[in-house]
Structure 1
Amino acid sequence: MQAQSDGAARAAAQRPGANAQGNPGGNLSLPSLGDGEGLTVSAERRLGDRIARSIYQDPDYLDDPMLVDYLQLLWQPLLAAAKQRGEVPPELAERLAWELMISRERSVNAFALPGGYLGVNLGLLAVTERPEELASVMAHELSHVSQRHIARMMSNEQRLAPWMIGAMILGALAAGSNPQAAGAAIAGGSAVAAQQSLKFSRDMEREADRVGFGVLTGAGFDGQGFVSMFDKLAQASRLNDDGAFPYLRSHPLTGERIADMQSRLPSAAAGVGPRADAPVRPAGLPSAAMHALASARARVLAERNSTRWSNWVQIAAGSAAKPGELYAGALSAQRLGQHDRAAELAQRLRTAVAGSDARAMADALMLELLMSPGAPANAALLAELRDAALASGSRGPLLLGAQAAVASGEAERAASRLQVWVVDHPRDAQAWQILARAHQNRGRTLRAVRAEAEARAAHFDWDGALERLKAAQALPPAQRNADPIELAIVDSRRRDVEDRLREAMREEDKR
């Protein structure tokens, strides 16, 4: 399972793609790879940051707070287990990003990039049935990063110049949305040949399976997740692959790999599905009920066909509808403009999952629906859910609650809560964007413009950040002088951003 299996390029190919028509990642200045000494940790991180910047700018990049929260419930235990097992040594833990991304794409895929970035397509989340299945893919990808397979491959391919690696990555980033542009971006037959040669070896695949299995079970997940996920992919490989399963091409499943995973489970022969002797799930890991809601959300967000939305609404209307079906139906009804039906289904969902860890996702959905234009008025319920969300320590509910507070004329509460959040999470671009709106509603233009700059900086858009900081400094004296502490922060941040831009120029000169 290696959505990065053609090296950094093939990994990125099923990504939240680049703007294929507009020079994908055109500002990607590649770091020096050294004199044949391979990819250092610092160079790998810089390369990953620049690829990530291209991804952030692409329309397929999705920052859905509720889905990000759910993926973090899988990701953080896996990362902690990898650290505890020694698979992620302190240097890598500190210097790589270890950041998740989501792509809107419906294809069943995941990807890993240099520098510790890992992404999941909505299509993969949509087809998994239990949290351990999705966690097994993430554990495998994490292991490719922790074992530094990308750096090792690039060390082995010493004939590859940095520009060739860059052309390969840029071409793959464009492939998802415009194959012709991808072909143009891969400059010349030598780059194409290099792309084909940068593949994980069978030994690396086996190593990622072995290490990933240990990480998965070490985090408390049932190792059966590996077996059942392999079974899903193996079944798909026997069908006509119409492009929906790129994971099968970049992660070829061999009988040896499948047998190896099965041998690690004494009861694997009992078949695919939850094991009778499955370990007790540690507190904090998501339940199958929560996964069902996250999977339903992914299906609806990835779907653009109104007929499918209508079908999901009809299924949810049945008296025997399961929680995942109720969630998909409610969100689909909202997208179809059927606001009363959406609220009705969301309330049924809240009742169905009461007392479980899925209730927070159900409440968040109801708050999201109540904030939609045209939604039935229910001021009391909206206020109740807004206040509970603002008090939450989780990102998804907090950002929803802040948006609700701004919309209901309580921007001060939103700003106060978000200001605390961004201190601990300075790279949360969406939080900065909502904070900018809250400040603007309060008439604090200097703070609003600076928050806009921080949102751009969070996605490595240093030019955009500098433009907003200059705009803050150019505000009328009355607005600037009314908040001298904030103005001092703006001045300091401008110097920081200018340093970043100079560093990028120096790296460009090294090429």
Structure 2
Amino acid sequence: MRAILWFCLLLLLPAGMASADGLPDLGELERSGLSLPAERRLGEKIMAEIRRDPDYVHDAEIADYIDRLGQKLASHVEGARSGFEFFVVRDPMLNAFALPGGFVGVHTGLILATRSESELAGVLAHEISHVTQSHLARMFGAQSQAQLASLLSLAVALLAARSNPDVALGAAVAGQAAGIQRQLNYSRDFEREADRFGLDLMERAGFDTRGMASFFQRMLQFGRLYENNAPAYLRTHPLTTERLTDMENRIAQRPYRQVPDSVEFGLVRAKIRAYQATPGDAVADFAAQLKSGKYAREADVRFGLAHALLRDGRLAAAEEELAVLRRLKLESPLIESLAAQIRLQRKDTDGAIRILQEAARRFPNARALTYALIEAKLGAGLAAQARDAVAIARRELALTPGDARLYALEAKAHAALGEHLREHRAQAEAYLAEGRLDEAIMQLELARQAGDGDFYEQSEVDARLRELRQRKMELQRNERGKDPF
């Protein structure tokens, strides 16, 4: 995964860009030949590969948390920029990055390194600002379309080399990439601008702006202590004492605001820790923390220990930790999800469904609970529960259209009911939401061949298929022209 992310950063930055004396105006974006739709398509191509990697974090609770935190910041972006997507990569390296089209990724290592939610929000706000200020597109302006297409080909080679037994191929690809490794830095002007806009964004979203400065200060100190092994984030986002001083001066001019962390911040970090080591090691680590009393909040340690015990198959001990969490009166959808997971491990599907249904009523905005409820109903193996799963998925899609996971779950429910046209149609929408146009078209073709839909459903599939084929033809025309993405 590090190779993929290293490439993604490589792809974003120009092969021949000199240090800028000043920032070009936004008109450069149009003159660069890389429009916002083209930038989005490029980002989708990269994301299609990242999502296939085993280090991409599919865990709904972790993904949901980082996306909600990012969306809280993105909702305060001024102007028309929208469509941000936030995701997590399982990697101990301290890193975060922005991709073309508004995709923002963060490593689990960086999440664990933050000491407050405002610190984590500061990193996301900084990355969001690289996107809103068009730093990626403005840097693309220094490259020809041929260079961009060549870099995209290098992306595919790097991804293939990860699992290819031919070491020579991997070495050759790495050698090509190493030739432009020196260009992996944002310019200092871009970094200062991302700092400034990021601080404004944090303040509008209600976070403590000191979080950005405190995290970067700690990163800078770490980089000085381990100069030859500086955090990856510092290598791609050069940090200087001058820049940090400027950041602190700006913060000093703002009103003091102390912002408590959300309950989920500590629980998500505990869950990441519970799954990054072997089950036995994770149990020992959390037990040692409880014994020593060296923790910020007992509930976080108990939650992490419960998950580690669950992984280790020690259900009774996990239930004991859950009981302690109940006594601590911690209100969170993650606690209810943990209770449901324990019930499922006990083969008590009905009990898990009851817990998740009640939790979904209490926490209507927790998408991870909805996903878990649908999965539990499908796990019951009953037609009535599968029909309920379809109803839940459709109801939620009406509220949050474009949710690829919900479409995939709907497809799974239709498959359980033997409704193949509907299955392939829903799966097509799941692929389309992820930018996988060819796979979406293939699913619609399978839906046409299913033969189990009525006249109206068949007509809707035909219409959708014509629409997507037309979209593909337009993209192909663009590829033959000046826009390769």
Task: Report the TM-score, using the length of structure 2 for normalisation.
Answer: 0.82
Q: How does 1:464-479 map to 2 (within 5 A)?
A: 464-475=439-450, 477=451, 479=452
Aligned to 2:396: 421
Partners of 1:296 and 1:80 in 2: how far apart?
27
Q: CA deviation at 1:225?
A: 0.5
Aligned to 2:314: 338
Conserved? CA contact 1:433–1:451, under 8 Å: yes
Aligned to 1:24: none
Change in 2 beyond 3 A, CA 1:131/1:348: same
Superposed CA deviations along residues 87-112 of structure 1, whole A, max 9, x for unmatched, are xx22x33xxx3111221222221110
Aligned to 1:480: 453
SS at match of 2:206: coil
Instruction: State, as a whole percentage, how many aligned pairs show the same letter.
Output: 30
Q: CA deviation at 1:203?
A: 1.0
Partners of 2:7 and 2:134 in 1: how far apart?
11
Aligned to 1:491: 462
Aligned to 2:305: 329
Conserved? CA contact 1:53–1:461, under 8 Å: yes
Partners of 1:280 and 1:35 in 2: how far apart?
41
Partners of 1:253 and 1:400 in 2: how far apart?
41
Is 1:237 matched with 2:212?
no
Aligned partner of 2:283 among 310, 314, 321 = 310
Change in 2 beyond 3 A, CA 1:72/1:166: closer
Aligned partner of 1:132 among 115, 118, 126 = 118
Partners of 1:77 and 1:226 in 2: how far apart?
16
Change in 2 beyond 3 A, CA 1:159/1:76: closer
Amino acid at match of 1:45: R
Q: CA deviation at 1:169?
A: 4.9
Change in 2 beyond 3 A, CA 1:295/1:205: same
**Structure 2 gap ranges (5+):** 14-27
Change in 2 beyond 3 A, CA 1:192/1:240: closer
**Structure 1 gap ranges (5+):** 14-32, 84-88, 269-276
Superposed CA deviations along residues 52-77 of structure 1, whole A, max 9, x for unmatched, are 22222222222322123222332123
Conserved? CA contact 2:98–2:131, under 8 Å: yes
Is 1:384 matched with 2:354?
yes
Change in 2 beyond 3 A, CA 1:297/1:193: same
Amino acid at match of 1:480: G
Query: Relative to structure 2, which stretch is displaced further, 498-507 or 214-223?
Result: 498-507
Aligned partner of 1:279 among 257, 263, 270 = 257
- Give the superposed CA RMSD: 3.4
Aligned to 1:502: 473
Which one has a larger percent helix, Structure 1 or Structure 2?
2
Conserved? CA contact 1:171–1:186, under 8 Å: no
SS at match of 2:97: strand
SS at match of 2:252: coil
SS at match of 2:453: helix
Is 1:112 matched with 2:82?
no
Aligned to 2:20: none
Partners of 2:229 and 2:407 in 1: how far apart?
37
Higher relative contact order (CA 8 A, sep 6+): 1
Aligned partner of 1:291 among 252, 257, 265 = 265
Q: CA deviation at 1:226?
A: 0.9
Aligned to 2:334: 361
Partners of 2:471 and 2:115 in 1: how far apart?
43
Amino acid at match of 1:442: L
Conserved? CA contact 2:87–2:104, under 8 Å: yes
SS at match of 1:108: coil
Conserved? CA contact 1:206–1:257, under 8 Å: yes
Aligned partner of 2:75 among 71, 80, 91 = 80
Amino acid at match of 2:274: V
Partners of 1:493 and 1:55 in 2: how far apart?
27
Q: How does 1:256-275 map to 2 (within 5 A)?
A: 256-266=242-252
